[in-house]
């Protein structure tokens, strides 16, 4: 295994999309940012230098960070942010993972433009558990705003209302050939008839779940969130912010150009950016003036199309890559996730109230000292350990809002003993509207053992859980008006954030943290912080 060195200069860069320009925060001047390549077992050192006016931190989304929480990146959770003019070296080892992940800024709304791919190749000499592709391509899906995204969220926080949606979706940074500004032609994947391509799909959008499809071609899904799955063929992939999906594309047409489409998936009556981002698959030998074969994206509320993909996912569970699903549970947790309304006397547009979000009726308050530092150095008064294992008011999902939408606030964490096993049921409240929440857990992969609609029933639902080959992920959609059950082993000491990966919901407070204690054996403790760890 090797040591890989990267330098990420966070710089402003004037960037033109949709026929207009604005300065954006970037890594090394690129949108999307550079791809980070490593092999399983490699150590990665990324020196991040902050040249912009904002405080910055970078998260390596899905990297397990075994005992190295100091390199995880969420601002005020595992580190204080990097101030203007300063730098920090993220130092971590890739352990037991291979596949596609993403990195992104983890402070304010900077991840709208500060994001990129992480490609983890298998150990040298270890083949993929599927036919070797002729070539590979990273396909980053995202959003583009004509206005400054910090202004978008600040405006929303002032009013108490929902923020504006983006002005376009993007594929590798471009809205594509079919857009309101077609002069920028967008991403083109050049293919040869008879060859197979591995596409590493990443949803780096702030607030939009996306459908992905290619005209005239089926896709073979082989991996999600850097874990192998049993391969299956499908027309349309659905991918939530923070999730990744590897698919094989066989170039089985003789020639031609085929449209690639990324369009929104939203099964709640809330505003989305309705525009479809496009790109082109171009067969070699095809004449330039050949018309592109088009495809119609699914309607935005095509829940059946999304479920067809989601319900097909199974862990590969081979001898070499077994699914190590915890068969017993030490902590049986039930968390409600959803939106609510709190009073806000200054919110004029919101009529004296504001939208908030919560987990078990707690709207998480960001601390001003990083939780991991407070934990490691025993600084009191930063957080409390009374995060409830169940909602304080018994929750009953009936599809109609209960009368009390209000939440309490606090910086509460849930404490887990080292190596304890956790079953966590995440129940969508649908109080304002049933809405799919893609919940991301830092520091762990988990197994998705069950899901359903309506209320979770603790007596009958576990009888149907899949404890054999459930898909292993780091980000899971809690179904609109339903629940999902996950299991994981708390084998990673530290403080680990869990939140909805729709950035607007994170901002509103749909977040909490687990505190995993050190074990007693060797190599069961959080390592000490690096000397260049930023101070608050
Ligand atoms: Cu990709 Cu805490 O996020």
- Around Cβ 140, how many Cβ atoms within 10 Å? 24
Q: Do residues 138 and 269 both lie within one domain?
A: yes
303 bridge partner residues: none
Q: What is the pLDDT of residues 352-369, one digit of tens each?
A: 899 999 999 999 999 999
> What ipTM, to 2 d.p.?
0.99
375 lines ligand 1 (CB under 6 A): no
Residues 505 and 400 in one domain: yes
Judge if 98 and 145 occupy the same domain.
no
Q: Minimal CA–CA distance to 281: which of 222, 215, 202, 233?
A: 215
Q: Which atom of ligand 1 is nearest to the CA of 475?
A: 1
Same domain, 11 and 118: yes
Neighbours of 96 (CB within 10 A): 11
Closest among 434, 425, 432, 437 to 481, alpha carbons compared:
434
On the 0-12 / 13-18 / 19+ scale of CB atoms within 10 A, 125 is exposed
Residue 442 Cβ inside 6 Å of ligand 1? The answer reads yes
Which atom of ligand 1 lies closest to the CA of 61?
1
C-beta 74 within 6 A of ligand 1: yes
Q: Per the domain annotation, does 172 fall within a domain?
A: yes
Q: What pLDDT is stored for residue 401 in this prediction? A: 53
Q: Is 489 in the pocket of ligand 1 (CB under 6 A)?
A: no
Check pocket membership of 115 for ligand 1, CB cut-off 6 A.
Answer: no
- CA–centroid distance, 238 to ligand 1, in Å, is 18
pLDDT of residue 393: 78
Does the structure show a pLDDT above 60 at 211? yes
Q: How confident is the model at residue 463, as a pLDDT?
A: 98
Do residues 209 and 303 touch, judged by C-beta distance below 8 A?
Answer: no
pLDDT on residue 406: 83
Residue 270: which pLDDT band, with cuts at 50, 70 and 90? confident
Tokens of 60: 């390596």
- What pLDDT score does 184 carry? 74
Confidence of residue 351 (pLDDT cuts 50, 70, 90): confident
User: Within this chain, do residues 298 and 339 fall inside the same structural domain, yes or no?
Assistant: no
Rounded CA-CA distance 492/515 in Å is 10
Residue span of the structural domain in which 280 resides = 130-315
Taking residue 309's Cβ as centre, other Cβ atoms within 10 Å add up to 22
Q: What is the pLDDT of residue 340?
A: 86
- Whether residue 523 lies inside any domain: the answer is no
Distance from the alpha carbon of residue 242 to the mean position of ligand 1, in angstroms: 7
220-232, pLDDT tens digit by residue? 999 999 999 999 9
For a pLDDT cut of 70, what percent of the chain falls above it?
99
DSSP, collapsed to helix, strand or coil, labels residue 156 as helix
Ligand 1 pocket, 440 CB below 6 A? yes
CA of 513 to the centre of ligand 1 (A): 12
Claim to verify: residue 346 and residue 267 sit in the same structural domain: no
460, burial (CB in 10 Å: exposed 0-12, middle 13-18, buried 19+):
exposed
Kindly give the distance from the C-alpha atom of residue 376 to the centroid of ligand 1, in angstroms, as a whole number. Answer: 22
Domain boundary among 102, 125, 148: 125
What is the rounded CA–CA span in Å between residue 8 and residue 27? 6
* 170 and 254 inside one domain: yes
The answer to whether residues 144 and 182 belong to one domain is yes
CB 242 near ligand 1, within 6 Å: yes
In degrees, to the nearest 5, what angle opens at C-alpha 322 toward C-alphas 234 and 199?
Answer: 35
Cβ of 106 less than 6 Å from ligand 1: yes
**In the 8-state DSSP scheme, what is residue 253?**
S
Which stretch of 97-101, 265-269, 305-309, 447-451 has the lowest confidence by average pLDDT?
A: 265-269
Instruction: Give dist(CA 419, CA 401) in Å, integer.
Output: 38
Specify the pLDDT at position 434: 78
In a domain, 529, yes or no: no
The confidence score (pLDDT) of residue 349 equals 82
- Res 13 pLDDT > 90: yes
Q: Which residue has the higher pLDDT, 111 or 347?
A: 111
Are 64 and 120 in contact by the 8 Å Cβ rule? The answer is no
Q: Show which of 315, 340, 360 is a domain's final residue.
A: 315
Output the CA 402–ligand 1 centroid distance in Å: 30
Q: What's the gap between Cα 201 and its chain centre?
A: 12
The reported pLDDT for the residue numbered 399 is 59
Nearest to 20 by CA among 186, 182, 181: 181
Q: 495 CA to middle of ligand 1, Å?
A: 14
Burial level of 161, CB count in 10 A (0-12/13-18/19+)?
A: middle
- CA–CA gap between residue 272 and residue 291 (Å, rounded): 30
The reply to whether 536 falls in a domain is no
Is 111 a pocket residue for ligand 1 (Cβ < 6 Å)? no
Same domain, 299 and 359: no
Q: According to the model, what pLDDT value does residue 179 have? A: 87
CB contact at 8 A, 193 and 251: yes
- CB 338 within 8 Å of CB 358: yes
The verdict on the CB of residue 61 being under 6 Å from ligand 1 is yes
Each residue's pLDDT tens digit, 368-421: 999 999 999 999 999 999 999 999 877 887 755 565 678 999 999 999 999 999
- Phi, psi angle pair for 70, to nearest 5°: -60, -20
State the pLDDT at residue 95: 96
Per-residue pLDDT band for 487 (boundaries 50, 70, 90) equals very high
C-alpha 75 to ligand 1 mean position (Å): 10
CB distance 104 to ligand 1 below 6 Å: yes
Residue 531 lies in a domain: no
Q: Is the CB of 59 under 6 A from ligand 1?
A: yes
What is the mean predicted confidence (pLDDT) over 153-169? 93
CA distances from 125 to 200, 250, 329 (A): 21, 24, 37
Number of separate helices (H) and strands (E) present in the chain: 4, 33
φ, ψ for residue 75 (rounded to 5)? -60, 135
Question: Distance between CA atoms of 46 and 28, rounded to whole angstroms?
Answer: 13
Rounded distance from Cα 372 to ligand 1 centre (Å): 16
Model confidence at 457, in pLDDT bands (50, 70, 90)? very high
Q: Is the peptide bond before 306 cis (omega within 30 degrees of 0)?
A: no
Q: How far is the CA of 497 from the centre of ligand 1 (A)?
A: 8
How many Å lie between the centroid of ligand 1 and the Cα of residue 345? 31
Atom of ligand 1 nearest to the CA of 442: 2
Average of per-residue pLDDT across 37-46: 98
> Residue 512: inside a domain, yes or no?
yes
Of 94, 125, 156, the residue at which a domain comes to its end is 125
- Nearest residue by C-alpha to atom 3 in ligand 1: 61
Per DSSP, the residues of 393-412 read S-----SS--S----EEE-B
**Structural domain contains residue 347:** yes
Distance between first and last Cα of the chain: 35
With a 6 Å cutoff on the Cβ, whether 499 touches ligand 1 is: yes
C-alpha of residue 474 to centroid of ligand 1, in Å: 10
Q: Does residue 220 share a domain with residue 93?
A: no
Residue 334 is predicted with a pLDDT of: 97
Q: Output phi, psi for 472, to 5 deg.
A: -105, 130
pLDDT at 345 over 60: yes
Asked if the structure places residue 525 within a domain, the reply is no
Question: Which atom belonging to ligand 1 lies closest to the Cα atom of 506?
Answer: 2
377/124 Cα distance (integer angstroms):
40
How many domains is the chain partitioned into structurally? Answer: 3
Q: What is the CATH number of the domain that holds 363?
A: 2.60.40.420
Of the pLDDT bands very low, low, confident and very high (cuts 50, 70, 90), residue 449 is very high
Provide the pLDDT for residue 404: 65
For residue 253, is pLDDT > 70?
A: yes
Statement to judge: residues 57 and 148 lie in one domain: no
Q: Given pLDDT bands bounded at 50, 70 and 90, which one contains residue 287?
A: very high
Identify whether residues 154 and 295 lie together within a single domain.
yes
Q: Cα separations (Å) of 25 from 174, 404, 502?
A: 16, 40, 20
Q: What is the mean pLDDT of the chain?
A: 95
Q: 273 φ, ψ to 5°?
A: -80, 110
CA 315 to chain centre: 19
Give the DSSP letter of residue 335: E
Q: Tell me, in angstroms, the distance from the centre of ligand 1 to residue 493's CA.
A: 18
Q: With a cut of 80, say whether residue 431 has pLDDT above it.
A: no
In the chain, pLDDT over 90 holds for what percent of residues? 89
């Amino acid at each position: 295994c090797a040591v890989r060195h990267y330098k990420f200069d966070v710089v402003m860069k004037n960037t033109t999309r949709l026929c207009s320009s604005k300065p954006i925060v970037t890594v090394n001047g690129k949108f999307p940012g550079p791809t980070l390549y490593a092999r399983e077992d490699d150590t990665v050192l990324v020196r991040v230098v902050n040249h912009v006016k904002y405080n910055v931190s970078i998260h390596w989304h899905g990297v397990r960070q075994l005992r190295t929480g100091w390199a995880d990146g969420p601002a005020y959770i595992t580190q204080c942010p990097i101030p203007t003019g300063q730098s920090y070296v993220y130092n971590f080892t890739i352990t037991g993972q291979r596949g596609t992940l993403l990195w992104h800024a983890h402070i304010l709304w900077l991840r709208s433009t500060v994001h990129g791919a992480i490609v983890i190749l298998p150990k040298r000499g270890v083949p993929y558990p599927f036919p070797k592709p002729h070539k590979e391509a990273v396909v980053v899906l995202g959003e583009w705003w004509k206005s400054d995204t910090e202004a978008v969220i600040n405006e929303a926080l002032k009013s108490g209302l929902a923020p504006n949606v983006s002005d376009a979706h993007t594929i590798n940074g471009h809205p594509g050939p079919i857009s309101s500004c077609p002069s920028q032609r967008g991403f083109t994947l050049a293919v040869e008839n008879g060859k197979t391509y591995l596409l590493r799909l990443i949803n780096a959008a702030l607030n939009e779940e996306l459908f992905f499809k290619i005209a005239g071609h089926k896709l073979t899904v082989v991996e999600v969130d850097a874990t192998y799955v049993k391969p299956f063929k499908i027309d349309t992939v659905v991918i939530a912010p923070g999730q990744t999906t590897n698919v094989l594309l066989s170039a089985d047409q003789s020639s031609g150009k085929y449209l690639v489409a990324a369009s929104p998936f939203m099964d709640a009556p809330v505003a989305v950016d309705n525009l479809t981002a496009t790109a082109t698959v171009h067969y070699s030998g095809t004449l330039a003036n050949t018309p592109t074969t088009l495809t119609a994206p699914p309607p935005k509320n095509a829940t059946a199309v999304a479920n067809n993909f989601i319900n097909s996912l199974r862990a590969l569970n081979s001898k070499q890559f077994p699914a190590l699903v915890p068969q017993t549970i030490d902590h049986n947790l039930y968390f409600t996730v959803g939106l609510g309304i709190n009073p806000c006397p200054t919110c004029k547009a919101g009529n004296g109230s504001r939208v908030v979000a919560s987990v078990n009726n707690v709207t998480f308050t960001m601390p001003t000292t990083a939780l991991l530092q407070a934990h490691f150095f025993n600084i009191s008064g930063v957080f409390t350990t009374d995060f409830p294992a169940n909602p304080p008011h018994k929750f009953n999902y009936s599809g109609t809002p209960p009368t009390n939408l209000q939440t309490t606030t606090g910086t509460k964490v849930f404490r887990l003993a080292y190596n304890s096993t956790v079953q966590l049921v995440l129940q969508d409240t649908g109080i304002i509207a049933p809405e799919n929440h893609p919940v991301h857990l830092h520091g762990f992969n988990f197994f998705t053992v069950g899901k359903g609609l309506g209320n979770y029933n603790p007596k009958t639902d576990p009888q149907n859980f899949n404890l054999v080959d459930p898909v292993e992920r780091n980000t899971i959609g809690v179904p609109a008006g339903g629940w999902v059950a996950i299991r994981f082993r708390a084998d990673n000491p530290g403080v680990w954030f869990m939140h909805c990966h729709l950035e607007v919901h994170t901002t509103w407070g749909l977040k909490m943290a687990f505190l995993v204690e050190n074990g007693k054996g060797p190599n069961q403790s959080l390592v000490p912080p690096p000397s260049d760890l930023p101070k608050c």
